[in-house]
Chains A and B, each alone.
Chain A
Amino acid sequence: MVSSGLAAGAGSGTALGWNIGEDIRQLLALHFMVNAFRAGTIVAVVAGAIGWFMVLRRQSFAGHTLAVVSFPGASGAILLGISATAGYFAASIAAALVIAGVPRSPGGRSYSSESAVIGTVQAFALACGALFVSLYGGFLNSLTGLLFGTFLGISDGQVTTLLIAAAAALAVLAGIARPLFFATVDPDVARARGVPERLVSMVFLLLLGCAAAEVSQITGALLVFALLVMPAAAAQQLTARPALSFVYVPWNVTSRPVHSRFMRSSDSSSLATRSWRVRPAASSSFSR
């Protein structure tokens, strides 16, 4: 998919110059680049919102594993001849259910068994992915794409799928946001107040699986941290206010101009994060 995108880019006979405005105009004239930006923006918003809770809940390992699981999901789907997008979502959501199903101790706070299960799931997933790739017979030249992302060559249909999944995930997240926040910050009081903590945690893991599946289609299975963890972690370091933090996350991930009012001396971490969003796209499109 990458190669076809690059071929289209090379075919139109454009070359990059130092005129940045002109460069951007030329980029946006290419339909696959527009789709890449659309998909990237959708994924960045979802990853920012869900990643914020993931970082707060210290579930980055689970998030990473759910992303890694998308690798066997996609390669398995290609092996079976079905849509890779369906494979991404099916595998990540199935893995989220496995992790959510880990029995907890009666106190509900022993997470050591959870990380053991997550590690096992991750090892199993990587092994399955390698197996599917080898079963496919060596013709799967998009292995790098599965692991490191295929930003280009995203079809209109895929953008629509991403948009629908993103809207659904954000709507569910908005619905459970406050009890989820309560159960994360103060689980004992939340339980005593009647917050269905297990249900909320499970729904969140499913959302995380959904987000990981979306993100890994853009950044690949191995670079999900770039979108899920770093913007949210940076935002939480910048401010302890939840609402303002949510303002920072999209700023961090979507590389839009930062209003001078929000620029502080400690913003260097946010700038570093924002460049992340740009770098994978730039390296995959121009260095090859």
Chain B
Amino acid sequence: MKDYLILIAGMGFVTFLPRWFPLFFLSKREIPKLLIEWLDLIPAAILSALLIPALVVGGEPKIMAFKPELLASIPTFLFALKTKSLGGTVVVGMALYWLIGKGLLPFFGL
């Protein structure tokens, strides 16, 4: 148990550090305008970098594949674009993915 405590304390420390450093130091400084403009683009970049591989890359070793995640993502994306509702998109996305998993979508001509 002692070894385990050291392990999770170490993991916790190295996880906390990058989360904490910019918030602690950047919030007290003037941030250069160019950096602000760059940081402004970071969320779109990160979200896309997190999302797109989850839709089209699978397997071990990794390969590009046509996944049900991708099929469900198209109507989910359109729903999000139309409604701008986070909760609604989550529920609709889950329902679509579930239906695709059940093989029900062909019955609706999709």
Do these two chains really belong together in a complex?
Answer: no
* Chain A contact residues, CB within 8 Å of chain B: none
* Chain B contact residues, CB within 8 Å of chain A: none
